[in-house]
Structure 1
Amino acid sequence: MTAPPTASAVIEEITALGPFFAVRTHPSGTAPPEPWQRFTRALLEARVNGVRDSLAAMGGRPAGTVELRVAASVAHLGLAARLVSPALAAAVLHGRVPAPRLAELRWQPVLGAPVPLSLPDDAFAGAPAREPARLAELLSDRLLNGPLTELADAMGEFSVSRHILWGNTASAVNGAVTMIASARPDLAPRIRALAALLHRTPPLRDTGTSAPNGAFRRRSCCLIYRAAPDRKGPLCGDCALSRT
Structure 2
Amino acid sequence: MSSDPAQDAAPFAQAPSAEVPSAEVSFARAPFTEALNALGPFFSVRQHAAGAAPRPPWQPMSRLAPGSDALLEHVAAVRAGLARTHGVPPERVESRVAASVAHLGLAARLLSPALALAVLRRRALAGSLDALWWQPVLGRPVPLSVAAEDTGAGAEGTGGGGPGTAHADASPAAFLGTYLADGPVAGLDAAFASLSVPPAVLRGNVASALHGATAAFAAGAGPGPAATARAALTRLLTGPALRGAVGTAPNGAFRRRSCCLIYRAAPDRAGPVCGDCVLLDRRRGRG
Residue 208 (str. 1) matches residue 246 (str. 2)? yes
Tell me if the contact between 2:96 and 2:195 (Cα under 8 Å) persists in the aligned partners: yes
Distance, in Å, in 2 between the alignment partners of 1:210 and 1:84 is: 22
Which of 262, 273, 279 aligns to 1:235? It is 273
Which of 33, 57, 69 aligns to 1:42? It is 69
Residue 198 (str. 1) matches residue 220 (str. 2)? no
Gaps of 5+ in 2: 1-27, 150-161
1:46-125 correspondence runs (5 A)? 46-122=73-149, 123-125=162-164
Residue 175 (str. 1) matches residue 202 (str. 2)? no
Tell me if the contact between 1:55 and 1:227 (Cα under 8 Å) persists in the aligned partners: yes
Match of residue 151 from structure 1 = 188
Tell me if the contact between 1:235 and 1:241 (Cα under 8 Å) persists in the aligned partners: yes
* Letter paired with 1:127: A
Distance, in Å, in 1 between the alignment partners of 2:251 and 2:268 is: 35
Q: Secondary structure at the match of 1:148?
A: helix
Distance, in Å, in 1 between the alignment partners of 2:78 and 2:232 is: 32
Residue 160 (str. 1) matches residue 197 (str. 2)? yes
Deviations 1:126-150 (A, max 9, x none): 332356xx32122111344211111
Which runs of at least 4 in structure 1 moved beyond 6 Å after TM superposition?
Answer: 211-214
Distance, in Å, in 2 between the alignment partners of 1:212 and 1:11 is: 39
Tell me if the contact between 1:76 and 1:155 (Cα under 8 Å) persists in the aligned partners: yes
Q: Tell me which moved more, 223-232 or 209-218.
A: 209-218
Q: Give aligned pairs, total.
A: 237
Q: How has the CA–CA distance of structure 1 residues 212 and 65 changed in structure 2, closer, same or farther, with 3 Å as cutoff?
A: closer
Tell me if the contact between 1:109 and 1:115 (Cα under 8 Å) persists in the aligned partners: yes
Distance, in Å, in 2 between the alignment partners of 1:120 and 1:11 is: 12
* Letter paired with 2:163: F
* Letter paired with 2:70: L
Q: Secondary structure at the match of 1:222?
A: coil
Match of residue 30 from structure 2 = 8
Q: Shift of residue 210 of structure 1?
A: 5.0
TM-score normalised per structure 2: 0.78
Distance, in Å, in 2 between the alignment partners of 1:85 and 1:193 is: 15
* Letter paired with 1:192: R
* Letter paired with 2:59: Q
Q: Shift of residue 211 of structure 1?
A: 7.3
Gaps of 5+ in 1: 1-5
Distance, in Å, in 1 between the alignment partners of 2:236 and 2:168 is: 15
Deviations 1:97-131 (A, max 9, x none): 22331122100011111000000112221332356
TM-score normalised per structure 1: 0.91
Match of residue 255 from structure 2 = 217
Indicate the percent of aligned positions where both proteins have the same amino acid: 50
Which of 226, 239, 262 aligns to 1:188? It is 226
Tell me if the contact between 1:7 and 1:124 (Cα under 8 Å) persists in the aligned partners: no
Tell me if the contact between 1:7 and 1:121 (Cα under 8 Å) persists in the aligned partners: no
Q: Shift of residue 68 of structure 1?
A: 0.2
Distance, in Å, in 1 between the alignment partners of 2:252 and 2:218 is: 11
Q: Secondary structure at the match of 2:163?
A: coil
Match of residue 140 from structure 1 = 177
